[in-house]
Amino acid sequence: MLEKTPTRRGKSAAEASPGRVARNRMRIAWMYYVEGLTQNEIADRLGIGRVTVVRNINEAIRQREVKIWIEGDVAECLELEGQLKQAFGFKEAMVVPEPSNPALTTKAIGVAAGMYITDNLTDDMSIGVGWGATLYESLQTLAPRELENVQVISLLGGIVQARRYNPSEFAWQVARMVGADCYLLTAPAVVDSPETKETLIEKCGLRDVLRRAERLDLAILSVGTMAPDSTAFRFDFLSDEDRTSLIRLGAVGDILFNFYDREGRLVDHPLNKRVMSIPIDQLRDVPKRMIASGGNEKVDSLLGAIRLIDCNVLITNEATARELLIRKT
């Protein structure tokens, strides 16, 4: 039976300690995923309602106490992976099946990215991480591991106001899950002038972090678009005036708040000189340069990003992979 908190001095079972609640939740998840019991069978065995079982299973997934992995190949995806590698010269490509609901594209790619990162982590690695909704989803399948001498370095400054997709938060989460040391660019993602940027680097200890980023083994990145609902603009990180002027200069997307055109050239905009990020030229020297991103609205952004950093590992969805191949020329 599920552990219950005795009712004492008016307290109910619902006020169980957090530790006991977590143990009960994991017991239910274990019975469902490992023992293979149905939700009704679990409810009967534990003497609780089926709704309680469902709620605990969903919470276990949300808390990342349960990670779902799918093994197996999809022929169409494998064929697209081969075509992408041939067309773009990628070392590796992962194409995820097209979700029935387009709104789940970001999640599907993020799940695949987490699996890829887990498979490629080793001792003595230096990992640079970007940010964004897709990479946030990768935490679902990034399996906790205890590795030796691993460094995780945030490649972009933080967002002053706490947000779900804060670059600093993502870097810290990755480092925590793999037992790595974490190094952050402790500055806003965008500062007010190139002079402020240089002062922060030289006088506030950020030069050491940038030097560490010169020795990366793997860079984990995603791309943003110029749409108003893209992560950079949706949360007012940048102004609408910035967005309009960037588009006029031909910008199709950004990596680490560095805005570029479809040909993979940084646009000549003052914003690109005020971004607290690893220099884009430096990214091109990283042995594995991974981009995880997709969706119909991101094809031009991806084409430019692939050229900008000479990407050699791509994780995307079927429809985007097909469109990339069509529009490459």
pLDDT at 1: 46
pLDDT at 237: 73
pTM: 0.80
pLDDT at 110: 93
pLDDT at 225: 96
pLDDT value at 72 more than 80: no
Q: What are phi and psi of 102, to 5 degrees?
A: -55, -25
| Percent of the chain surpassing pLDDT 90 | 62
pLDDT value at 61 more than 70: yes
Yes or no: say if 276 and 284 are a contact pair by the CB < 8 Å rule.
no
Model confidence pLDDT, tens digit, residues 219-263? 999 999 999 988 878 767 788 999 999 999 999 999 999 999 999
CA distance 52 to 221: 38
Residue 224: HSE in the Cβ half-sphere, 13 Å Cα cutoff:
25
Decide which of 195 and 160 is more confident. Answer: 195
- pLDDT-derived band at 69 (thresholds 50, 70, 90) equals low
Model confidence pLDDT, tens digit, residues 110-161? 989 999 999 999 999 999 999 888 999 998 888 877 889 999 999 999 865 5
Mean pLDDT of 184-197: 92
Distance of CA 199 to the CA centre of its chain: 30
- Name 94's bridge partners: 315
The mean pLDDT of the chain is: 88
pLDDT at 239: 86
Q: Which two tokens stand for residue 290?
A: 């991974």
Domains of the chain plus CATH, in order, are: 13-62 (1.10.10.10), 75-327 (3.40.50.1360)
pLDDT value at 282 more than 60: yes
- pLDDT-derived band at 3 (thresholds 50, 70, 90) equals very low
Decide which of 251 and 100 is more confident. Answer: 251
Most confident of 46-55, 56-65, 254-263: 254-263
Most confident of 83-92, 168-177, 199-208: 83-92
Mean pLDDT of 262-278: 96
| Closest alpha carbon to 255 in 120, 131, 126, 117 | 131
Give a three-class secondary structure readout of the chain.
Answer: CCCCCCCCCCCCHHHCCHHHHHHHHHHHHHHHHCCCCCHHHHHHHHCCCHHHHHHHHHHHHHCCCCCCCCCCCCHHHHHHHHHHHHHHCCCEEEEECCCCCHHHHHHHHHHHHHHHHHHHCCCCCEEEECCCHHHHHHCCCCCCCCCCCCEEEECECECCCCCCCCHHHHHHHHHHHHCCEEECCCCECECCCHHHHHHHHHHCCHHHHHHHHHHCCEEEECCECCCCCCHHHHCCCCCHHHHHHHHHCCCCEEECCEEECCCCCECCCHHHHCECECCHHHHCCCCEEEEECCCHHHHHHHHHHHHHHCCCEEEEEHHHHHHHHHHCC
Model confidence pLDDT, tens digit, residues 294-322? 998 999 999 999 999 999 999 999 999 99
